[in-house]
């Protein structure tokens, strides 16, 4: 099974979790990069409003991918505008399974997962599983068990 983990990370936490998960699953990693990072206020506002913002070119086709995992930080109880841009640009994705991993300080996981889930379901994709990691767990290196369970759910 070819699994692609696509992630956006501003301060490195999501990247740490996505990298560990990729090792666990033997998955490929793809990074969403902003063309330009706005200030904190702009970040929060754009996320809150579900807006999109430009990202660097990347392969947005799932033609030869069997399962997509979207790994994203929670911003304003939603997801960064760069993640929205990626999701909007996905092609050859209808009928494919996907899972969502959100990384956060402490609140808003459910609505962030819903934001990703709604966008991809509208594109004909099929939700499989989700997981939540906390900034403190990533800093302390204690998130391993969570991603092991997440990996199991994906491989089932
Ligand atoms: C603009 C902005 C908004 C955020 N909003 C939330 C939030 O609503 N809930 C939360 O728990 N954490 C929030 N955070 C914290 C991040 O989710 C957390 O620091 C996460 O670990 C960042 O991931 P990264 O290091 O991969 O960028 C926010 C961070 C930023 C920059």
Token pair belonging to 97: 């399974």
Fold of 3-155: Rossmann fold (3.40.50)
| Residue 2 Cα to ligand 1 middle (Å) | 29
Token pair belonging to 32: 């969403």
Note the pLDDT tens digit of each residue in 14-31: 999 999 999 999 999 999
Q: Which long-range contacts (CB under 8 A, 24 or more apart) does 41-47 make?
A: 43/10, 43/75, 43/80, 43/81, 44/75, 44/76, 45/76, 46/80, 46/81, 47/75, 47/76, 47/78, 47/79, 47/80, 47/81
State what percent of residues in the chain have pLDDT above 90: 99
Q: Where are the alpha helices (DSSP H) in 57-134?
A: 81-89, 109-122
| Residue 75 Cα to ligand 1 middle (Å) | 5
Token pair belonging to 55: 């990202």
Mean of the pLDDT values across residues 93-106? 98
Residue of 13, 74, 79, 146 to test ligand 1 pocket, by largest number of atoms within 8 Å of CB: 74
The pLDDT value given to residue 134: 98
State what percent of residues in the chain have pLDDT above 70: 100
Nearest CA to ligand 1 atom 5: 75
């Amino acid at each position: 099974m070819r699994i692609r983990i696509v992630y956006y990370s501003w301060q490195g936490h999501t990247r740490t979790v996505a990298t560990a998960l990729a090792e666990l699953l033997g998955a490929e990693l793809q990074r969403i990069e902003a063309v330009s990072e706005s200030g904190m206020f702009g970040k929060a506002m754009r996320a809150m409003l579900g807006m999109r913002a430009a990202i660097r070119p990347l392969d947005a086709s799932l033609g030869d991918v069997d399962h997509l995992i979207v790994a994203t930080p929670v911003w304003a109880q939603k997801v960064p505008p760069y993640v929205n841009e990626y999701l909007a640009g996905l092609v050859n994705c209808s009928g494919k399974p996907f899972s969502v991993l959100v990384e956060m300080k402490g609140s808003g996981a459910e609505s962030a997962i819903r934001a990703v889930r709604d966008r991809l379901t509208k594109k004909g994709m099929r939700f499989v599983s989700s997981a939540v990691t906390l900034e403190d767990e990533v800093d302390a290196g204690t998130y391993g068990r969570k991603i092991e369970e997440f990996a199991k759910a994906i491989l089932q």
